[in-house]
Amino acid sequence: MLSRSQEKLLRYLGTFPEALDQAWDVPRDLSLPGLAEAMGVVRSGLNRPLSLLESEQLIAVRIAHVIGGGSRRRQVYHASEKGRLWLLEHPEIAEVEKGEDENKQNHPSTELIGRKDTLLDLESLFGHHEPVFLGGLSGIGKTTVAQALTGRASVEGTSTHSAVVNEFSDLRDIIQQWFPTVNPLPHDTEALASLLEASDKKQMFVIDDVHLISQRHASKIKDMIATFQCDNSTTLLLVGRTPLPFNIDCEYRQLPALDPEDATQLLGEHLDLEHRLSVAKALGGHPMALQLYSEGTPLPEAGEDIQNFVEQTILQNLGDEELAALDHFVLFPRPLASKEVPHQDEIADLDVHALLRWEHDNTKLEIQHLVRNVRRTMFSSDRLKELHQQSLNHWLMCEDTPDSQILRLYHQLALDDPDFHPQIERQVERLLPAQGAAIAVILNRAVEQKPDDEMLHYWAGKVALHRHETDQAQIHLDSLSDESLRSELAYQKALLEGNETESKLLLNAVLAQANDVEAARTLLSAAVQQLEDRLFDEPSDTVSSSIHSLLQDVKLPQRQEYRTAMMVSLSMIQHAVSLFEGDSQRANELRDALASISDEHDPFVRLLKLKASFRFHSSGSLEELIAEAEAVIQLQPTDFHKAALGLTLAEFLWIHDSQRAQSVFADVPQPDTLQSKGVAQQRYAGRWWYLHSKLSPNQALMSMREASRCFRSAGCHSASRKLVKRMHRLL
C-alpha cells in the first residue's frame, strides 16, 4: 500500500514518456528540485518516499544531464516498468472538471497549501473596475498564489496572460509575454493596445514583480494600467513588493505568512508532526525559508528575522565555489540563459539548495529574490567591483550577441569603465531594434550618474526618439549646450514630429556646423529619406525636384576613403531618381558610367540593373527576373542589404504575382532580427510591416499602425500620412 506522497510521486513520474528513461538529456522536472516543486514540498521531504519507491522497484534512479541545468550530470528519476504496470492497475479516480486537461500544460496543478481563503478573497475583488495588487515580502508565495489564480481562472474558461518583469522590462516586453504567439509583435503603442481589446471572452492579465519596473519605463506602463478596462470580463492582477514604481488606484492585499499548521505540509511526511510544527514556527511560516530548510539546518532563535536566517545559516552552509557562483548570479539584471552563464559546474548544487528561480520552461535562471536581496547587502564596495569586473570578463569572452553586448554595457556602467562611452557609440544603434528597452534603462542610469555628460544625453535622446518618446528626448535636448549636438537631435525630433518647416531650418543649422564629410553624408541621407518617402504600390508625389536640389548641394570630400564611397551613394541615388521619373535612358547612362570603371558584372552594377528591370518590367515571364534577383541578393555585402533587396523583390511580386510574393516574403527577415543602424532600419521596418499588412489581412490594422510608426521614425511622413488614411478607411 503506497502512502499519499508516494502515490503522488509515482503518478507524476508516470506522465513522462518511457523514451526519456534512456535519454542523454532529460528535463529538470525529473530531477530532485523539479520533483520538489511539482509536489510542493522541500527537497529533503522527498528523500524518504523516493527511497521507498526505489526499494519497491517502482521507480528507477540514474545519472543524466539535465537540460539547461549546467555542465554537471545529476540524479534523475523515472517510473519503472513495474511502476507503470502499477499505474495501469490502479487508475486514478478523480472528477476532472471540464476544460482542465486542455489547460494543464500551461497551468501545472501544483497543490496550493494554506491559501484557500486568500484565493477566494482575491477572486471576490475581480470585476471591481480597479486592478488588484497582491503584495508581500520576498519569498512569501506571491507568485505561487498568482499562478494558482490563473490556473483556476483558466479552468473556468478565462483566457489568462502572465508576464514576469525585470529591471529592463518595458510595455512591449510585458505584452510580448502576454501574447507569446503573436509574431511579429509591433512597437507602436496603439497597435499593442489593440491586442488587449481583441478578445471577446473573459481575460485575466498578470504582471509579476511589478516593483522591478524601471522609472525609465514606468510612465508608459502606468498609462496602460490606467486605461485598462477592468470589468466583469477583464481582470488585471499586479504582483510584487511595495513601494510600486508609480501611484495607481487598486485593490490592495498583503499576503501573510502561512499558518504554522499549514506550513508543516511543506516539510513532507518523514518527520513527525511535532518536529515539523516547531520548524514551521521557528521560520515564521515563511514558504521560501521553509524551502531552504533541510534536516539538520540550525533554526533561528526566537525573534530572529528571516534575513538573519538566510545570511547566517543558509549562506554559511555553501562551499566556496557555490558561494562564488551565487555572488555572480546575484548581479543578473534579468533571468539569463542557463547555458551561457558563468559557473556552469555549480548550477546543479545551487538548484538542489533551492536557491535558483527558473523561468521560460527552465531555460533561464536567477537567484531566488529573497536570497538575492539578502546577499546584495553583504557586499563591500571592493567585492562588488570585483564581481562586476569578473562578470564583464565573462561576457567579453562570450559570443558577440545582443544579449552579451547589453550585459557588457551593464557591467561597464557599474564599473565606470572608460570603454563604456566608445561602446555606447559603436553599439547603441545596432542594439535598438531588439534591445531598446534595456539600452534605454542603461543610458538613463548613466545620465543619472553623470548628469553633466553631454554625450550621454545625446545618445539617451537618440534612443528616446527611436522609441517615439519625444517628451523624454526633450529632457535630454534641454541638457545639451553643444550646438552641433543640439541641432542634430532637434532636427531628428522635428522629423519625427512631422514639423517639415522646422526640420528644413534645422537641416541648414546642422550643415553649417558640420565638416565636409558630415555635410555630404547629411545631404545624401536627406535625399534618400525623400526618395524612400513613399508606399511601393501607390503613385508618389513629385519630390524629384527637391532631391535634385539636395544633390546639387553635395560637395564630395577630398579624402579618398570617404570620397569613393560617397560617389557610389550619389550614383545610386541619381539612378533611383531616374527610375522614379521613368527616365530609362538616364538610368542606362549612369549604369554604363559605373560599368566603365569596373565591369557590367560588378555586383553593384547588377543591383542597379535589377532595380531598372523591376521598374520597367512588362507583362512577360517572371522566372528569369526572379532568378537574377535571387543571384544578386546573394552578392550583397551584408545581411541587411540582402534583406532589403529581398523585400524589394517581394514588393515587386505583390504587384505581379501575389502568391509568389507570399513565398518570398516568408524568407525576408523580420525587422527586429537585423542588427542594422538608424533610419535605414526604420525605413526597412516600415516597408516590411506595410507589406505584412497586405499579406496578412487579419492583422492589417495592427501592421499598418506599426508601419506608420516606423515611417515617422525615418522622417517619411508622406508615407506615414497615406497609411493613416488607409487605416481610417479600414476603421
For the chain, which residues make up each domain, given as ranges?
4-89, 115-254, 260-317, 622-731
- Rounded CA-CA distance 580/713 in Å is 23
- Rounded CA-CA distance 166/520 in Å is 43
Half-sphere exposure of 598 (CA within 13 A, CB side): 11
**pLDDT of amino acid 94:** 56
Closest residue by Cα to residue 330 from 280, 373, 279, 361: 373
Note the pLDDT tens digit of each residue in 622-657: 899 999 999 999 999 999 999 999 999 999 999 999
Residue 262 confidence class, pLDDT cut points 50, 70, 90: very high
**pLDDT of amino acid 111:** 64
pLDDT of 223 above 80 = yes
Note the pLDDT tens digit of each residue in 77-112: 999 999 999 999 999 875 444 334 433 333 344 568
Q: How many CB atoms lie within 10 A of CB 715?
A: 26
Q: What are the residues whose beta carbons fall under 8 Å from the beta carbon of 429, sequence distance 6 or more?
A: 462, 677, 678, 681
- Rounded CA-CA distance 98/482 in Å is 67
Note the pLDDT tens digit of each residue in 432-469: 888 999 999 999 999 999 999 999 999 999 999 999 99
Q: How many CB atoms lie within 10 A of CB 375?
A: 21
Residue recorded with cell 527577415: 669
Residue 585 confidence class, pLDDT cut points 50, 70, 90: very high
Note the pLDDT tens digit of each residue in 472-524: 999 999 999 999 899 989 988 988 888 878 888 888 888 888 888 888 888 88
695-704 contacts at long range (C-beta below 8 A, 24 or more positions apart): 695/654, 695/658, 695/661, 695/662, 695/665, 700/730, 701/194, 701/727, 701/730, 701/731, 702/186, 702/191, 702/194, 702/195, 703/186, 703/191, 704/730
pTM: 0.87
Q: 592-618: b or e for each residue (b if 16 or more CB lie within 10 Å)?
A: eebbeeeeeeeebbbbbbbbbebeeee
- Three-state DSSP class for residue 159: strand
- Rounded CA-CA distance 291/630 in Å is 58
End-to-end CA distance of the chain: 66
Q: How many CB atoms lie within 10 A of CB 273?
A: 11
pLDDT of 597 above 90 = no
DSSP code per residue over 598-635:
S-TTSHHHHHHHHHHHHHT--SS-SHHHHHHHHHHHHH
Task: Enter the CATH code of domain 4-89.
Answer: 1.10.10.10
pLDDT of 146 above 90 = yes
Q: How many CB atoms lie within 10 A of CB 226?
A: 11
* CATH 3.40.50.300 holds for 115-254: yes
Helices (H) and strands (E) in the chain, counts: 35, 11
- Rounded CA-CA distance 388/333 in Å is 12
- Rounded CA-CA distance 162/146 in Å is 9
Q: Do domains 4-89 and 115-254 have the same CATH topology?
A: no
Find out whether 392 and 412 touch, Cβ atoms under 8 Å.
yes
Note the pLDDT tens digit of each residue in 715-726: 888 899 999 999
Parallel, antiparallel or unpaired: strands 364-367 and 356-359: antiparallel
Sign of CA dihedral 579, 582, 584, 590: negative
Find out whether 14 and 35 touch, Cβ atoms under 8 Å.
no
Triad 258, 259, 263: Cα angle to 5°: 65
